[in-house]
Structure 1
Amino acid sequence: MRFLSVALVVLVMPFSTLAETKTYTLEGMTCQSCVKSVKAQVCKIPGLDTCEVELNKVTLSGKTLDEKLIESAITKAGYSILPKKAHH
């Protein structure tokens, strides 16, 4: 039983340090130059573990994601975040 308890602790510990992941839909990105502009601003935000930028989509992960910094970086690149659609 003691071995089982230790095994459970080892298995559960990594999940407590998982990063949060958020995806943002952007308006107006039409080409790879747009992607490069957004990457240049967004991917330099401190604390990011991953930063993936595609046409009209940014996916970020990190232990803490600062919404204001993210929005500011996207705005500085010349784009805006589209509001999430409500699901009914």
Structure 2
Amino acid sequence: MTETTYTVTGMTCEHCVNAVSEEVGQIEGVESVSVDLPTGLVTVVSLRELRDEDVRAAVDEAGYQVA
């Protein structure tokens, strides 16, 4: 298992949290996604190391950006 934390900008509400969690959660190998709204930290637990480009693309698809 691998745990990686990203800082995501632009999230302001629970809808934002759900959108980011859903998109990132669809990446192959992701086991769980935890979002801390006040800090913008998104922690991803996965079976293998993820490519940053894949996480960035998923966050972008949700409408936000990885800082």
- TM-score range (shorter-chain normalised) is 0.7 to 0.9
State the superposition RMSD in angstroms. 1.2
Q: Equivalent of 1:45, from 27, 32, 35?
A: 27
In the alignment, residue 79 of structure 1 is paired with which amino acid?
A: Y
Point out where structure 2 has 5 or more consecutive residues left out of the alignment.
none
Q: Tell me what 2:44 maps to.
A: 60
By how many angstroms is 1:50 displaced? 2.2
Point out where structure 1 has 5 or more consecutive residues left out of the alignment.
1-18, 83-88
In the alignment, residue 59 of structure 2 is paired with which amino acid?
A: I
Q: Equivalent of 2:12, from 30, 34, 44?
A: 30
Higher strand share: 2
TM-score, scaled to structure 2: 0.83
TM-score, scaled to structure 1: 0.66
Q: Percent same amino acid at aligned positions? A: 34
In our comparison, the structure showing a higher alpha carbon Rg is: 1
The count of aligned residue pairs is: 64
2:25–2:31 CA contact under 8 A, matched in 1: no
Q: Which runs of 4+ in 1 moved over 3 A?
A: none
